[in-house]
Structure 1
């Protein structure tokens, strides 16, 4: 009899506990992974721009407004990355709190625009994690200690990852620490870790390079003896392959820039992404 009563209580409690989870929307896959690491099983998480998708040119789907309307928190990167999102939040009539995970980060500038790719620096991601933990705790004070513990555990992993990257870069000869990538997604990585990135596209994949831009990059590859060009998982690879063909420079592989891969890909999490990228860079440059 006691077993039957206990089973009944568990059946009643489980849906209630699930219903109490904090409903959170993250704008894109990299940010969603950070939120998942802090929120754990105390949140219900929805991602708008999924794996291998380009947040710069995303067009909201009809169901996105419904997801935003149901959310308590909407966590965004900011720095101009999600230009389509304010209108979506407004059209959804959402009362959700919009949290900018990059708050507190001094943005790099490319011309007059802020470079939104702040997650490419692991020290910046430590700020993201702190901002996310603070927002989750404010929205759900009962689970604040849980979110704090989750954040601390994840920050330790990020500290280890940061050391790995620095140690790997040191092994690359200084004169070979320069590559071509599709768009300017790696400015923060370059500033933090000392690898020079040159890109035919600007900070957004929406822009189209001119023939003059491409010619200038081809000239730069030859003049600076840039050893490798890289594709990106979210971008059309024809432009980079054309540059590689015209210069004879090898394609060093694919870098993960603005979106994680699916579960079966090489970078389903942020930590996987950074490890994949540094492995690809060192393999192409370290000889």
Structure 2
């Protein structure tokens, strides 16, 4: 076998060396997010340039989360942190104080037109903004700007990732509208554990009723439950859903009293594990929509 010329062998070695250096030196920044839905959106925008940690784990409740010392340590060393805001993560400020973090979190819901409900005589902002894809498009804008500020060297990558993700989300939004619009409006009524689907209902035209308010930390009174049962019967709501991050006992009791049938499990505010049905935000929106449409169109 004829030996390669020395210059060619050296050139090949140099290319391999440069390739290894380029791969090893790809810059990444540590990012902390409050819960899994937000973590996935940040990961899509950040791509290979971010190491993302979600404080609330898969299937976890972002309302009633109890942070650990390890969470405080991660937050204290993060280059940037993200929360949804609007009262969702009431525990976050305590964690930030304990962590010694000197950088305020990025509130990704800034700029979203929120709506309020009356809860125990007070106007409460609904924090579950991500259940409407147009709201998450605003998240993407805010995340893109924050990552560029934290890591200007990778600005082009963040912009490209954000553009591609926005296009994918817009396509999914159109698909969900088509699915829901194919169902007669009178059938688009369901019962869920707590009031997490207000933005979904507003965007896609579905009516949701629930025994609890915006937060799973609230408790429904006997009078509230009785009133809800009457309302379910009056509106002929025939299907109920449990939620992956909440206790299902109360919703099952109400369903029994109203003869509502089970529609399955929805993912209102937490992703599933990687091998579950909703490991990403887009998968969550597809899965929830498929479950709702299947339930309200079945006899």
TM over 0.5, shorter chain: yes
> Which whole-Å deviations, capped at 9, do the CAs of 1:3-61 have from their partners, x for residues lacking one?
666666666665543xx312111110000000000000011111101110001000001
Structure 1 counterpart of 2:162: 151
**Matched-pair contact (CA < 8 Å) for 2:277–2:284:** yes
* Structure of greater Rg: 2
Aligned-CA RMSD value = 1.6
- TM-score (norm: length of structure 2): 0.91
> Could you say which residue in structure 2 is the equivalent of 1:53?
60
- SS state at 2:268 partner: coil
**Residue 63 (str. 1) matches residue 66 (str. 2):** no
Q: How does 1:22-171 map to 2 (within 5 A)?
A: 22-111=29-118, 112-171=123-182
Please state how far the C-alpha of 1:183 moved relative to its aligned partner.
0.5
Asked if the contact 1:68–1:96 (Cα under 8 Å) also holds between the matched residues in 2, the reply is: no
Question: Which segments of 5 or more consecutive residues in structure 2 lack a partner in the other structure?
Answer: 1-8
Q: Say which SS state the counterpart of residue 24 (structure 1) adopts.
A: strand
Is 1:274 paired with 2:285? yes
Deviation at 1:166, TM superposition (A): 0.6
**The residue matched to 1:209 in structure 2 has which SS?**
coil
Q: How many aligned residue pairs are there?
A: 285
**Greater Cα shift, 6-15 or 87-96:** 6-15
Which residue in 2 is equivalent to 1:262? 273
Alpha-carbon displacement from aligned partner over 1:220-274 (angstroms, at most 9, x marks no partner): 1111101211111101111111112222111111111110000111000000001
* Structure-1-length-normalised TM-score: 0.95
Q: Residue by residue, what CA displacement relative to the aligned partner does 1:103-130 show, whole Å, maximum 9, x if unpaired?
A: 1012111222111000011100100011
Within 2, Cα distance between the matches of 1:95 and 1:6? 42
Q: Is the 8 A contact 1:72 1:95 kept in 2?
A: no
After superposition, residues 176-191 of structure 1 pair within 5 angstroms as 176-191=187-202
Structure 2 counterpart SS, 1:45: strand
| Aligned-partner SS, 1:56 | coil
Contact 1:260–1:268, Cα closer than 8 Å, also in 2: yes
Work out whether 1:250 is the aligned partner of 2:237.
no
